[in-house]
Amino acid sequence: MIEVRNLSKTFGSFSALKDVSLSIEPGELVALLGPSGSGKTTLLRIIAGLECPDAGEVAFEGTSATNLAVRDRQVGFVFQHFALFRHMTVADNISFGLRVRERALRPSKAEIRERVEHLLSMVQLKGLESRYPSQLSGGQRQRVALARALAVEPRVLLLDEPFGALDAQVRKDLRRWLRHLHDDLGITSVFVTHDQEEAMEVADRVVVMDHGRIEQVGSPRDIYDHPVSPFVYRFLGNVNGFPCRSNGGRIHVVGTEMIAPDFAGHGERDVTAFIRPHDFDIEAGSEQANATLRHAVVLGPQVRIEVNLADGQIVEAELARDVFDRLSLHPRQKIRVVPRRAQIFLDDGTQARAQP
């Protein structure tokens, strides 16, 4: 549906996109995920035709869009900051794109009314058609913006941090709602976010970007389980990093010995072992205690603990509330922290390798 080939873009001497290629299937919901300044918005704007690449091209359904103006690309656009017309009602905002069409393509007034009714019920705003944007909540305004983008029946929907300016609960509700709406409509959609949870929850495929490059493309599960680089691994959630040494593939991490087959053919080398907070087992009353509990925070069904290892390193771990209660953990308690071998991710500075 959308083919992006070898796109590059510089602003002055700054290289915002470096040789980016990406293929998006019809009906997919794709997230562009990355830290601030990684080039997500620039890529989205080039797809929309709002920005011109220095090199490379964008094609829709196999046809180059290079010479297509924004209005001819048939894309719907939703921005982070509610770009609604303040002096227009909800209904007029939604129907705007239809009303400004040239006469031959413009639907009749009755057709427009019907379309607006339909869109209002789709975005669950029935009854609010006569309100002005100032009389709506942030979440309602973003739904109006979405209805307005959908009114012209675009072939592609592009969303730039659509929920970025909303508070946490509304954001959560809206992203679930967007996923359902997408499933109902099946419209090819690309959205920008810097929130990994949002990308993982909503998207079919996630494109992880850093410094103007695509680091990895894959399903949420794929990139979480098989990150191709330490950057991707770290960006997808909290991690603890442990500098250690591999000796012919034999590595000691947090008092646990493990074998890294990838390093078996090499002699001694420095590696970093990354372990996520929920990939530790915690034991209390063990003769082999290797840590002291510093601090615990209950996060609903999970508890996050901070522990001091015997060598002074601080580790963040997470465990289920019932396990925490069963072990009667308390600050200054001696405990044993054991990483789950299968979940350790190793990096030797050249290439990262996940352990089976």
Which of the residues 173 through 192 are near ligand ATP (CB under 6 A)? 192
Between 39 and 339, whose beta carbon lies closer to ligand ATP? 39
Q: How far is the CB of 207 from ligand ATP (least distance, A)?
A: 11
Q: At what angle do helices 168-185 and 138-151 cross, to 10 degrees?
A: 20
Check binding of 16 to ligand ATP (CB under 6 A).
yes
Check binding of 214 to ligand ATP (CB under 6 A).
no
Between 42 and 216, whose beta carbon lies closer to ligand ATP? 42
Q: 25-64 mask for ligand ATP (x: CB under 6 A)? A: ---------x-xxxxxxx----------------------
- What's the token pair of residue 184? 């109902």
Q: Which of 143, 154, 189, 3 is nearest to 71 (CA)?
A: 154
Between 40 and 205, whose beta carbon lies closer to ligand ATP? 40
Q: How far is the CB of 161 from ligand ATP (least distance, A)?
A: 7
Check binding of 11 to ligand ATP (CB under 6 A).
yes
Can you list the positions of beta strands (E) in 135-265? 156-160, 188-193, 205-210, 213-218, 240-247, 250-253, 256-259
DSSP string for 216-243:
EEE-HHHHHHS-SSHHHHHHTS--EEEE
Between 39 and 220, whose beta carbon lies closer to ligand ATP? 39
Distance CA 356, CA 349 (A): 19
Check binding of 196 to ligand ATP (CB under 6 A).
no
Q: Which of 122, 344, 325, 120 is nearest to 254 (CA)?
A: 344
Q: How far is the CB of 2 from ligand ATP (least distance, A)?
A: 17
Chain centroid, CA 89 distance in Å:
33
Distance CA 199, CA 171 (A): 12
Q: How far is the CB of 41 from ligand ATP (least distance, A)?
A: 3
Q: How far is the CB of 80 from ligand ATP (least distance, A)?
A: 8
Which of the residues 257 through 316 are near ligand ATP (CB under 6 A)? none
Distance CA 316, CA 311 (A): 15
Distance CA 67, CA 69 (A): 6
Q: How far is the CB of 54 from ligand ATP (least distance, A)?
A: 13
Between 3 and 51, whose beta carbon lies closer to ligand ATP? 51
Residues in binding contact with ligand ATP, number by CB under 6 A: 13
Applying CB under 6 A, the residues found at the interface with ligand ATP are 11, 14, 16, 34, 36-42, 192, 194
